[in-house]
Structure 1
Amino acid sequence: MDVRRATERHRGGEPEAGVESLHAFSFGPHYDPDNLRFGALIACNEERLAPGAGFDEHPHSHTEIVTWVAEGELTHRDSTGHETVVRPGDVQRLSSAAGVRHVERNDGRAPLTFVQMWLAPLRPGGDPSYEIVPGIADSTPYAVPDAGAMLHVRRLAAGERTAVPDGAYVYVHVVRGEVSLDGEELGPGDAARITDAKDLEAVGVTGAELLLWEMS
């Protein structure tokens, strides 16, 4: 198990424009050849947008993009005609396939914080697709079959336990709160990269919200 702390993330974005980004993997100018991916996961970005701030239209290709809003509301528009507002508890997936363009903005009055995770597809190309699952229930897995991955969302009370999925690659990201995982205490923004995970548990030290990726 390789624990990466929130304080180790690469800082990016444009703070003067109301955009703050924290990157868990090699990203843009923060090139690290030893930190390019873990399993299918090639990015896990914490994004903080001030009211009125956002990312203007930009392209993606050959990437499965999954977004989780921690607070606020995210406005999404893409070149395939989708326009949605993503709220806390919603899972959004944009399969960029052979190519798609999108806009992400905070059109609300409150600050916006979201976690965006990029996964490499098993096969390149294809047609772009989009899905949003509103208010996904606790412990309900969300499959991203094109990347051979499954997302598990867990909301724990203090003292509550949850099994960590067994898998070749498991990535655990703490959205909020504190948890204990195999003797390590993890706080907001911390992550654990687990290879050949088996029979592990996470325990809420406080109330907590976790994103767990199970990858083949």
Structure 2
Amino acid sequence: MTRVWRGEDRYRGGEAGAGIETRHAFSFSGFYDPDNVNFGLLVACNEELLAPGAGFALHPHRDVEIVTWVAEGELEHRDSAGHSSLVGPGDVQRLSAGSGVRHTERNAGDVPLRFVQMWLVPGAFGTEPEYEIVRGIADGTPFALPRTEAVMHVRRLGDGERTAVPDAAFVYVHAVRGEALLDGETLRAGDAARITDARDLEARGRGGAELLLWEMHAEPSYG
């Protein structure tokens, strides 16, 4: 079963005066819908737009896997474990919060920053925090998220180009840019498809598209 959530239906958040605009796909912060708290292991998929110099002050996380994909601009990351990085388009950033970590994120450049940040529930809690960046991930290269039963796939499709959608209990497809056809639906930038028991599906680019596909084989387990 495929269900499409349009970009315009996301919950709007952020601080306009601080140069921060956020669009939430799931219940988050002041937005709560008991029927929309997760899909598979995914509990957040936030589209963030930061003006030059804008950012999020130091704040804590615990027992969550945070994956960030930059679409445009450059993201500066600093955390309480001593990591300091610049993340650009094509890089995958993973922050495994484990037993607890604090971090800041800001737009380090002089042009608007747009990124997608996704949170997943780990398979074990209270573990040692971890941090990594995979630079310039290639099209079609799977990124197996440690401590979870989840894999992220990046797909860049030219006009008419096709790609298989992973077979899995839960597949989440987020359109970063462009348009793609999937299971009879057109996905445009900001749209997402939630597919349960995905089998033998494919996506096709329409004029070019960049997609993030989460292949998940479990739901959250809290002990």
TM-score by length of 1: 0.99
Structure 1 runs (4+) deviating above 2 angstroms are: none
Q: 2:193 matched to which residue of 1? A: 192
Give the counterpart letter for 1:167 in structure 2: A
Tell me the distance in 2 between the aligned counterparts of 1:147 and 1:15: 35
| CA root-mean-square deviation | 0.5
> For residues 164-183 of structure 1, what are the structure 2 equivalents within 5 Å?
164-183=165-184
Shift of 1:145: 3.0
> For residues 120-199 of structure 1, what are the structure 2 equivalents within 5 Å?
120-199=121-200
Shift of 1:26: 0.2
Tell me the distance in 1 between the aligned counterparts of 2:70 and 2:158: 20
> For residues 1-216 of structure 1, what are the structure 2 equivalents within 5 Å?
1-216=2-217
Give the secondary structure class of the aligned counterpart of 1:7.
helix
Give the counterpart letter for 1:72 in structure 2: G
Q: 2:220 matched to which residue of 1? A: none
Tell me the distance in 1 between the aligned counterparts of 2:82 and 2:155: 31
Shift of 1:107: 1.7
- Residues 88-146 of structure 1: CA deviation (Å, up to 9, x unaligned): 00000000001000000002101000000000011111110001000001000001131
TM-score by length of 2: 0.96
Give the counterpart letter for 1:195 in structure 2: T
Q: Which runs of 5+ in 1 are unaligned?
A: none
Give the secondary structure class of the aligned counterpart of 1:206.
strand
Q: Which runs of 5+ in 2 are unaligned?
A: 218-223
State percent identity of aligned pairs: 68
